[in-house]
Amino acid sequence: MATAAANTIVGMSGGVDSSVAALLLRDSGEALSGLFMQNWADDGSGDCRAEDDRRDAVAVSGRLGLPIHFRDFSGEYWAGVFEHFIAEYAAGRTPNPDVLCNREIKFKYFLDAARELGADYIATGHYARVDQADGRFRLLRALDRGKDQSYFLHQLGQTQLSATKFPLGELIKHDVREMARSAGLPTAAKKDSTGICFIGERDFREFLSRYLPAKQGEIRTPDGQLVGTHPGVFYFTLGQREGLNIGGVRGFEPAPWYVVGKDVAGNVLYVDQGSDSRWLHSQTLWSEPAHWIAGEPPAATFRCSAQTRYRQSDQDCEVHLREDGSLDVRFDQPQRAVTPGQSLVLYAGEVCLGGAVIAATDAPALAGSRLPNSSLTTTP
């Protein structure tokens, strides 16, 4: 649908959050249009929801009287997000594709497309806030801490934040759904998407096996006792309990088993009993080079709080910046299942400072475990 240039273009995902973001901007008198991004091509499984989401985005735009544009970023998504996702799993790490999708697609290609259409700003349905202080833009947590998505947005910088609006940042999710119902939006009762966007409701291991074929190996305890077999170490992540299929093992209590380590080269999965196994705990992590939202770190050494996974409570820590931009982070309290490949995100109160990909931790080392790109032992 053709349209004249709008001051703001809102990313219409076909969900209730982007629908209400568009509603709020329209009601504020914003010169507005929508844009639907297709980020994943149908892979032949019949599980791709893109067409359903597109129909919902069109229906909402029609209800609000907004013109809508369409862009296919599936090629860019494959090259910028999915290939990295597969490579990380193949290396035995656990990546976070939502972080990359925001950096590479939603706040890069979408922003470029909006500017080509003549817009000054983009808007999304993310739960986060933006403000300015001391001449710089800041990314803030959302008012609804249970829905806050600043964790997934920590790779944004000044260019992106200066051109972005988050209309839902001051709202509670329950109120967002009520607004959608009151406005008669067709997405008011639509279920929130969960998990990794391109996997959807499918079995994770089945999906991953299309790109990383099964390779049976041994499951061993930290002291080397054989307790089972697995279809491939890259299907598992630290702290995982489900899918191990370890039955009663002679000499062990009938307690749950958890993944505590992976030897990718040897294709050995290490497990231990008890969710608080000492093999899962660490107090120091090392990261890849960090990204800072302000463009620079607060200091060479500073204290702040951190999250090593989404929706984790704040964990106090001390951060040391290395010469290459990577970080040494020591937590005040031991942390459970800190996972290489996941994101470390740093905060000063409500302000998101930035973050980095976790490279390694000082969790007890297992056979085959090595700190990547480092000669460090478990104590640097």
Taking a C-beta distance cutoff of 8 angstroms, is the pair 343, 355 a contact? yes
3-state SS, residue 141 = strand
Which alpha helices (DSSP H) does the chain contain, by range?
16-27, 50-64, 74-77, 83-90, 97-101, 110-116, 158-161, 173-182, 204-209
What is the C-alpha separation between 6 and 318, in angstroms, rounded?
45
Q: Which of 48, 197, 317, 352 is the catalytic position?
A: 197
Tokens of 368: 């085959």
**Residue 317, H or E segment:** strand 315-321
For β-strands 281-287 and 291-292, DSSP reports them as: unpaired
Q: SS3 of 279, please?
A: helix
Are the C-beta atoms of residues 107 and 354 closer than 8 Å to each other?
A: no
CB 126 within 8 A of CB 372: no
Q: Are 78 and 38 in contact (CB under 8 A)?
A: no
317 catalytic? Reply is no
How many other β-carbons are positioned within 10 Å of the β-carbon of residue 23?
22
The answer to whether residue 101 is catalytic is yes
Identified catalytic residue from 101, 304, 317, 352: 101
Contact status, residue 306 vs residue 338, Cβ threshold 8 Å = no
Which active-site residues does the annotation give? 101, 197
